[in-house]
């Protein structure tokens, strides 16, 4: 079994790291460069930077901030927000990102996934999916969760894989920021039907939640992304990794 990854997430708005509940009631939690440096030093496996208002505001992600973060860390770094063309992806990769995350633009234009994969390789393409459970169907949303699309989570994830996605980052909007745990049954189903890694996002409130979503008896996810518990120091990455290792879940110590 490949090592499971622990990935802190920096949700960025107006150049600052923020966190909310269900994508709402955002509060500033710190400087993104300082947080990134701290997580890299703690032993995080990767870092995700999401410019959460770029698409809503009709602009591109802050490439200057991406460059500053990249200069301060030595771990893989994924950037998303406002990426709608291959050139947008190219700018961020040149600024220091190792991967780009596409979401709303890919729902609108799925060929964007294959275009970026063809140019830079599937390993550079993370397809982020935000969805809500509506009457038993996981409906995909766009524009920071403010608009419903006509796509369904599982079929969209499979389509994205066929187009060249290297990873799927799924966020349950029903769980995001609630600290009540991940939607483990959904990650288990995604992991079973896809041949690419699945990153779990939305709902981490303690180390036990991360253990659950990464364990073979739980969510079977390949990586766990979290924000609040790391930002507020409720869970320290070295301690979390030791707990995972003690449970027999492979991690890089």
Annotated active-site residue 130? The verdict is yes
The predicted pLDDT at position 82 comes to 85
* Alpha carbon distance 231, 233 (integer Å): 6
At 101 the pLDDT is 97
The pLDDT score that the predictor gives to residue 61 is 61
Q: What are the structural domains, with CATH classification, of the chain? A: 5-246 (3.20.20.70)
The DSSP 8-state label assigned to residue 49 in this structure reads E
Which among 130, 176, 212, 222 is annotated as catalytic?
A: 130
Query: Kind of pairing, strands 223-226 and 198-201?
Result: parallel
Q: What's the pLDDT score for residue 18?
A: 77
- The Cα 107–Cα 185 span in angstroms is 24
Residue ranges, the chain, pLDDT below 50: 22-23, 25
pLDDT score recorded for residue 6: 98
Predicted pLDDT of residue 23: 47
For the chain, the average pLDDT equals 92
User: Residue 217: its pLDDT value, please?
Assistant: 96
Assess contact for 76 and 46: CB atoms under 8 A.
Answer: yes
Angle at which helix 32-42 crosses helix 237-246, to 10 degrees, equals: 40
Is 11 marked active-site?
Answer: yes
Rounded CA separation 147/102 (Å): 16
Q: For 82, which DSSP code?
A: S
pLDDT value of residue 114: 98
pLDDT, residue 103, reads: 95
SS (H, E, C) 182-226: CCHHHHHHHHHHCCCCEEEECCCCCHHHHHHHHCCCCCCCCEEEE
pLDDT score of 130: 96
Q: Determine the distance from the C-alpha atom of residue 250 to the mean position of all C-alpha atoms in its chain, rounded to a whole number.
A: 20
Q: Which of 89, 92, 138, 139 is nearest to 117 (CA)?
A: 89
Give the other-Cβ count within 10 Å of 171's Cβ.
25
Contact between residue 219 and residue 187 where contact means Cβ atoms under 8 Å apart? yes
As a whole number of angstroms, the distance between CA 13 and CA 50 comes to 9
Beta partners for residue 34, in sequence order: none
Where on the phi/psi map is residue 136: left (φ > 0), alpha (ψ -120 to 50), or beta? left
Rg of the Cα trace of the chain? 16
pLDDT at 50: 87
Q: What is the pLDDT of residue 19?
A: 61
Q: Which of 86, 71, 87, 27 is nearest to 52 (CA)?
A: 27
Residue 35, CA distances (Å) to 4, 44, 53, 74, 248 in order: 22, 11, 19, 13, 29
Least Cα distance to 4 among 229, 216, 232, 161 occurs for: 216
Tell me the pTM.
0.92
């Amino acid at each position: 079994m490949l090592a499971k990854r622990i990935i802190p997430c920096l949700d960025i708005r107006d150049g600052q790291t923020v966190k909310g509940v269900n994508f709402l009631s955002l509060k500033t939690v710190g400087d993104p460069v300082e947080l990134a440096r701290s997580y890299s030093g703690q032993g995080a496996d990767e870092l995700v930077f999401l410019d959460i208002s770029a698409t809503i505001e009709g602009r591109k992600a802050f490439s200057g901030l991406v460059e500053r973060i990249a200069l301060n860390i030595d771990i893989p770094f994924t950037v998303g927000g406002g990426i709608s063309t291959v050139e947008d992806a190219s700018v961020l990769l040149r600024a220091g990102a190792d991967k780009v995350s596409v979401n709303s633009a890919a729902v609108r234009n799925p060929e964007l996934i294959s275009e970026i994969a063809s140019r830079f390789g599937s390993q550079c393409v993370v397809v982020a999916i935000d969805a809500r459970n509506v009457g038993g169907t996981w409906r995909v949303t766009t524009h920071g969760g403010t608009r419903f699309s006509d796509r369904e989570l599982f079929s969209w994830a499979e389509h994205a894989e066929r187009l060249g996605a290297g990873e799927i980052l799924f966020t349950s909007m029903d769980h995001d920021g609630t600290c009540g745990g991940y939607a483990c049954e959904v990650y288990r189903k995604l992991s079973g039907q896809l041949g690419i890694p699945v990153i779990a996002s939305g709902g981490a409130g303690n180390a036990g939640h991360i253990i659950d979503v990464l364990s073979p008896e739980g969510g079977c996810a390949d990586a766990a992304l979290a924000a609040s518990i790391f930002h507020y120091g409720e869970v320290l990455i070295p301690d979390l990794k030791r707990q995972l290792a003690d449970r027999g879940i492979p991690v890089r110590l």
